Every structure is written in C-alpha cells, then in structure tokens.
Amino acid sequence: MRQSVFVIVMILVFTMAFVIPPVAGDNCHGDGKNETDHSGEMIRESTVDGHKFAYHLIDMREKMKGMKNMPEMKATHHLMVYVEDSHGHKIEKGKVGYLVEGPGDSKQKAMAMAMSGGFGADMDLSAKGKYAIKTKIAAGDKKLMDKFVYEVK
C-alpha cells in the first residue's frame, strides 16, 4: 500500500513540474499587468485581415536543462502562434503550417499542433543568423498568411 501511495505522489510531483513553471512564469510587460498566459518569449505581434497573431518562442534547450535521461532532440525551439479573430475570440481550431528558411539555405516545414490555446511546432534554430518565418493558417473559410524575419544572435 505504501509503495502505491509513493508512486502516485511521485507521478503528481513530476506532473506539477511541467504545469507550474508555465503558470507561474513572469508574463508581465512594461506596466506590470499580466497581459497573457502564454509561455516563452514573445517575438512578434501582427494583424492580418483583422486577425491578431502573437508569436512566442520557447527555448527547449533551456527548458530541458538539468533533466536526466532525456533523449537528445533535433529541435532547439518550439514556435507558437496564438490567433484571435477581429472580435477578440481565440481561434483554436484549424490548420497551421510554418515554413522557416534559415542561414545556409536551410528550410524547415512543419504542421503545427493545436495546444494551449494556440498552435505550436518544433523548430531547429541552432544556427546563428536570420530566419524568414512564413505562417499559413486555414480556419473555417479564412486563409491567413503572415511572414517575418527573426534573428538568432
């Protein structure tokens, strides 16, 4: 019985280790108000046809640092986009794809998965330099495209 309780407690502890950091993270911007519950560094905000896009980049190397027995990942970052329609409603269903062209003519294509109120995919941004990021979103009858350049220093 004690062993079962111990196992359950350990599962809860490990589960909370992944839940608490994003929730407890500092998401304040400038004026001290908590504007977002998104994790990672905000790298871009834009508006396309009245839809607001908010891009966040999560450094997976930092997040996994110190975790034992983790397999090595090719992806160094997780790219998220959060989309709101012109009325401020979150778009959480649809298809999202990224095309990322980086230093040395590298190209990555990824279909994003719906998660945490946005759409995310793993990316390899290990080389320093500029990355041209193109996003295509198909949600309902809307097809939206956005593009920007992000620099890894």
From first to last of the 153 residues of the chain, give the pLDDT tens digit: 555 444 453 444 344 444 444 444 433 333 333 345 678 899 999 999 999 999 999 998 877 776 776 666 789 999 999 999 999 999 999 999 999 999 988 999 999 999 999 999 999 999 999 999 999 999 989 999 999 999 999
Is 16 domain-assigned? no
pLDDT the model gives residue 34: 35
Does 1 map to a domain? no
Number of independent structural domains in the chain:
1
List the domain range (segments joined by +) for residue 125: 29-152
Spatial contact of 75 and 112, defined as CB atoms under 8 Å apart: no
Location of structure tokens 């945490």 = 116
pTM: 0.72
CATH value at residue 128: 2.60.40.2480
Domain assignment present for 130: yes
The angle formed by the CA atoms of residues 34, 120 and 94, to the nearest 5 degrees, is 100
* Domain membership flag for residue 76: yes
pLDDT of residue 61: 83
Q: What pLDDT was estimated at residue 81?
A: 98
- Give me the residues paired with residue 95 across strands: 138
In a domain, 100, yes or no: yes
Who's near 116: CB < 8 A, 6+ residues apart? Answer: 22, 38, 39, 80
Residue 22 domain-assigned? no
